Amino acid sequence: MGPLVPFIISEEFSLVIALFLGIGFGFILEQAGFSSTRKLVGLFYGYDFTVLRVFFTAGITAMAGVLLLGHYGLLDLDVIYVNPTFLKSALLGGAIMGVGFIIGGFCPGTSVCALAIGKLDALAFVFGAILGVFAFTEGFPLVEGIYNSNNMGQVKISEYLGMSDILFGFLLAAMAVGAFVATWYIENKVNKRKPVISGKLRNQYAYAVLGPFVVLGIVAFLPGKYDIINKRIADQKRQQTCVFKEMPADKLAHEIVNNYYVLNVIDVRTPEEFEAYHLPTAINIPFDQMMDRQYEPIFRQKLKTNVFYADSDTLVRMACLHAKFIGKSENYIMKESSTEFREMFFELTPPGPEATKQQLSLYNYRSQTAAQMTNLMESLKNIGAPVKRQVVTVKGGC
């Protein structure tokens, strides 16, 4: 599940990947003609709208792709970097960049492309840009107020407008297509060309336009990964076909004492309940957070056995069922509730004088195991509690 950095690909190796992604970026920019300043500013005088076409198509493609990957659970949209919004500096900075664009004829990325193929004006632009950045870093105290004012956080435009991502996606794609058609007429008019287009090319463009709308339609109307999981769970429940492997508390206690290292004892109650009392060596994965990406490895691994427990029979069964659909680990549920477990082991009442031999040996077993579990917790304390893996939000930016 993406993003691959930092859990699957290390930060270090991501630099190598950056180089290759940059090669792709530069190659395409140059192929599109972004290394020519006159082609770039053509956008502002109506004789060449290449920039708008490339830019919008790229934006729509990437946006539709991000939504699609997120829909099928391949990309975690909660952790990807959404550029934060600082209203004043975004608008003022953008306006200054706009002035720089019309005077200098490049933007930073395109100037690097043009420099690579030997454009001297691009060299001057890069030199100027470095001076500009230097002016900013030196004069930072003067602009710090504007730079940090109106912080709205990592807000999406769809949230701001109060619509769903997918609806905004549709609108943006429709806007882009409208802009493509309109600018085609404008460009022909400015260049005094006849607006003719061959039937074949027109059909190809029509299919191309269909592409993003189909992708957005899939995201909007077909069930996503979590819908599918929930539906399967509901189906199985309705048909009563789910089989649960149960583990009695006595057996679990024995396993904890002897094999704690091949066991994940998972408490699916709320963190407050977990704090109040939990089984020895247990980790807490609240039921409503089971789908979180940070817990996925636990349900996918095949080295340890997962044992779920809670206070309610339904909750623990639901949790086990969820786990089954997330991964292929071996999953058990504890037959007893956590309260029963505590009473059985840690709140033992010694049997009376007329107790049977069986009761006595059970008492002995349980009190011994309880002592061993307490010992185990004591010694494990120093090794460290189960590692809490925190979701890393990607830092990014230009």
Partner 1 sequence: MQPKPYMNPYLAGFLLGLVLLATIYITGRGLGASGAFKSVVIATVEGVAPQHAANTAYYADFKATNPEGPWKNFLVFEIVGVLIGAFFSGVLAGRTGLKLEKGPAVSNTTRIIGAIIGGALFGFGSQLGRGCTSGSALSGMAVLSLGGILTMLAIFGAAYALAFFFRKLWLK
Span 174-233, contacts to partner 1 by CB under 8 A:
180, 205, 208
| Phi, psi angles (nearest 5°) of residue 228 | -65, -45
Q: Give the shortest CB-326-to-partner 1 separation in angstroms.
A: 21
Position 294 contacts partner 1 (CB under 8 A): no
Identify the helix (H) or strand (E) that includes residue 246.
Answer: strand 246-247
Q: Is 22 left (phi over 0), alpha (psi -120 to 50) or beta?
A: alpha
Strand partners, 331: 306
Judged by CB under 8 A, the residue of 26, 224, 286, 351 near partner 1 is: 26
What span, in angstroms and rounded, lies between the C-alpha atoms of 184 and 169? 23
Nearer of residues 80 and 362 to partner 1, judged by Cβ: 80
Judged by CB under 8 A, the residue of 118, 162, 195, 384 near partner 1 is: 118
Position 83 contacts partner 1 (CB under 8 A): yes
How far are the Cα atoms of 11, 289, 292 from residue 306, in angstroms, in the given order? 31, 16, 17
Nearer of residues 208 and 385 to partner 1, judged by Cβ: 208
Q: Give the shortest CB-125-to-partner 1 separation in angstroms.
A: 4
Tell me the two tokens of residue 340. Answer: 């029963």
Nearer of residues 176 and 316 to partner 1, judged by Cβ: 176
Strand partners, 283: 266
Q: Give the shortest CB-188-to-partner 1 separation in angstroms.
A: 15
Q: Give the shortest CB-65-to-partner 1 separation in angstroms.
A: 4
Scan residues 27-56 and list those touching partner 1 (CB under 8 A): 27-33, 35-39, 41, 43-45, 50, 53-56
Judged by CB under 8 A, the residue of 72, 93, 294, 304 near partner 1 is: 93
Judged by CB under 8 A, the residue of 10, 73, 145, 152 near partner 1 is: 152
Scan residues 59-78 and list those touching partner 1 (CB under 8 A): 59-63, 65-66, 69, 74-75
Position 127 contacts partner 1 (CB under 8 A): yes
Q: What is the DSSP string of 230-268?
A: HHHHHHHHHHT-----EE-HHHHHHHHHHHGGGEEEEE-
Strand partners, 247: 334
What span, in angstroms and rounded, lies between the C-alpha atoms of 315 and 269? 8
Judged by CB under 8 A, the residue of 10, 72, 73, 111 near partner 1 is: 111
Please, what is the angle between helix 108-116 and helix 120-138, to 10°?
A: 140
Scanning the structure block, which residue is given the tokens 């107020």?
145
Tell me the two tokens of residue 290. Answer: 């089971």
Judged by CB under 8 A, the residue of 10, 71, 72, 91 near partner 1 is: 91
Q: Give the shortest CB-165-to-partner 1 separation in angstroms.
A: 6
What span, in angstroms and rounded, lies between the C-alpha atoms of 142 and 305? 59
| Of the candidates 148, 155, 160, 161, the residue with the CA atom closest to the CA atom of residue 92 | 148
Nearer of residues 169 and 280 to partner 1, judged by Cβ: 169
What span, in angstroms and rounded, lies between the C-alpha atoms of 322 and 296? 11
Number of other CB atoms surrounding residue 142 within 10 Å: 10
Nearer of residues 205 and 365 to partner 1, judged by Cβ: 205
Q: Give the shortest CB-120-to-partner 1 separation in angstroms.
A: 4
Position 128 contacts partner 1 (CB under 8 A): yes
Q: Give the shortest CB-329-to-partner 1 separation in angstroms.
A: 26
Tell me the two tokens of residue 356. Answer: 């049977």
Instruction: Encode 62-74: b = buried (16+ Cβ within 10 Å), e = exposed.
Output: ebbebbbbbbebe
Nearer of residues 62 and 222 to partner 1, judged by Cβ: 62
Q: Give the shortest CB-139-to-partner 1 separation in angstroms.
A: 9
Q: Give the shortest CB-143-to-partner 1 separation in angstroms.
A: 6
Judged by CB under 8 A, the residue of 71, 168, 269, 369 near partner 1 is: 168
Scan residues 336-395 and list those touching partner 1 (CB under 8 A): 394-395
Tell me the two tokens of residue 158. Answer: 């769809």
Q: What is the DSSP string of 297-314?
A: HHHH-SSSEEEEE-SSHH
Cβ 45 vs Cβ 190: under 8 Å? yes
Position 327 contacts partner 1 (CB under 8 A): no
